[in-house]
Amino acid sequence: MQQIADFKPSITTSYLAYNQIIGNLVSTTKTLFSFPFGIMVSIFLFISAFFHFLVSIPSKVNTYYNDGLKNNINVFRWYEYALSSSIMMVLIAVLFGIYDLATLILVFLLNASMNLFGLSMEKMNQGKTKYNWLPFIFGSISGIGGWIIVLISLISCEDLNLVPCFVFVIAATYFILFNLFPINMVLQYKKVGKWKDYLYGERVYIILSLVAKTLLAWLIFAGIMQP
């Protein structure tokens, strides 16, 4: 049985090198380092736990957090998501065989940008009754970018039977949960039903975050540790 700590795929980079035999530049791949998959799983969980601890203990941060909620904004949520969920996307990309460092960095930055656009959405629309949806639109474009990269890797696979079933389960589960976050934001700004209260939407964010991270972590551990 393989332990998750032993799952360390090699991260590579590609560059042009001169081939003396054919007398031309050719694309060359070089291994940079082993990806500490198990450690990265624990890191996104730690980041989430740290931010929740940070805003919950009595302090100036807690006061700033509560004042923000009264003004329909939570900056800590978006910064935490920009880090933790971006690591989660990188892990999913790695599970689908994306080992190129530049591509993984792109996946991370696209997902992080999506969340920072979410922060911009809240900042730009504070105290307004007519909302500017451009940050939401731009964020959605950035967010789907990472999934397009994963999809390209998937359809490029010559034999999908070689991809473990748990990888598809992880991707499908996280994709569904992934899309519930923008839906929650839309309901919040449209003030549909219970979402008229900003704090209700905030509670939904917390629940979605907890479920997504916990479920992804358990699916990864269960999948990687299977015989």
Joined tokens for residue 158 = 């010559």
d(CA 14, CA 100): 8
Q: How far is CA 52 from CA 13, 61, 72, 119, 164, in A?
A: 36, 11, 18, 17, 33
Cβ contact 148:105 at 8 Å: no
How do the pLDDT tens digits run along the chain, 227 residues long?
445 556 788 999 988 887 878 878 888 889 999 998 888 888 988 999 999 899 989 889 999 999 999 998 999 999 999 999 999 999 989 988 899 999 999 999 999 999 999 999 999 998 888 999 999 999 999 999 999 998 888 887 766 666 667 777 778 888 888 899 999 999 999 999 999 999 999 999 999 998 888 888 887 776 655 55
Cβ contact 2:32 at 8 Å: no
Closest CA to 212 of 173, 186, 185: 173
Using DSSP's 3-state secondary structure scheme, residue 18 falls into strand
Confirm whether pTM is higher than 0.75: yes
Ranges of H-type helices in the chain: 37-56, 60-70, 75-95, 101-124, 134-155, 165-190, 198-224
